[in-house]
Amino acid sequence: MKKIFFTALAVCFVGLTFSCSSDDNGSSTSPTITDVTNTMSSGTWRITKYIDSGDDETTDFNGYNFTFSPNTILMATNGTNEYMGSWIVATDNSNDDSPSNDLDFIISFSGPVKFIELSDDWDIQSRTSTKLELIDVSGGNGGTDYLTFEKN
């Protein structure tokens, strides 16, 4: 399992390395990998919404602060418990034509169970300097999950 995760992470890193773009003329409305990475690696964040297939599980993450380090390390701590995961922003390989789905926000935790539930390749719905809204439509059961991080 770890080998698969690290292989996937390496593939995402290669995608990150070769798919970064910047928009010098300011004409693009879609965020780039660099935009999202810079936003999330600044400060600490909290989960203000986590809906898992219709069930509101936001309170599972009350009191946790998330730090997205530029080196893809993701830390979640509530002052007592600390969990380490990983994160990366990569180009979405799906064949849809929706610009909002051009990037994946990939989160991975190995434990505990409630944090493992966050592990997914999320589509970015919207991003500001203080808020990131994510969505994932499950391939298995067709449920839709929503995850929102807001800056502390």
Whole-structure pTM value: 0.77
Q: What's the fold here for domain 2-22+30-151?
A: Lipocalin (2.40.128)
pLDDT reported for residue 28: 45
Residue boundaries of the structural domains of the chain: 2-22+30-151
pLDDT at 18 over 60: no
Percent with pLDDT over 70 in the chain? 73
pLDDT at 14 over 80: no
pLDDT band at 93 (very low <50, low <70, confident <90, very high): low
pLDDT band at 31 (very low <50, low <70, confident <90, very high): confident
| Strands 45-52 and 55-56, sheet pairing | antiparallel
- DSSP secondary structure string, 10-68? HHHHHHHHHH----TT----SPPHHHHHHHHTSS-EEEEEEEETTEE-GGGGTT-EEEE
* Average pLDDT rounded to a whole number, residues 99-116: 87
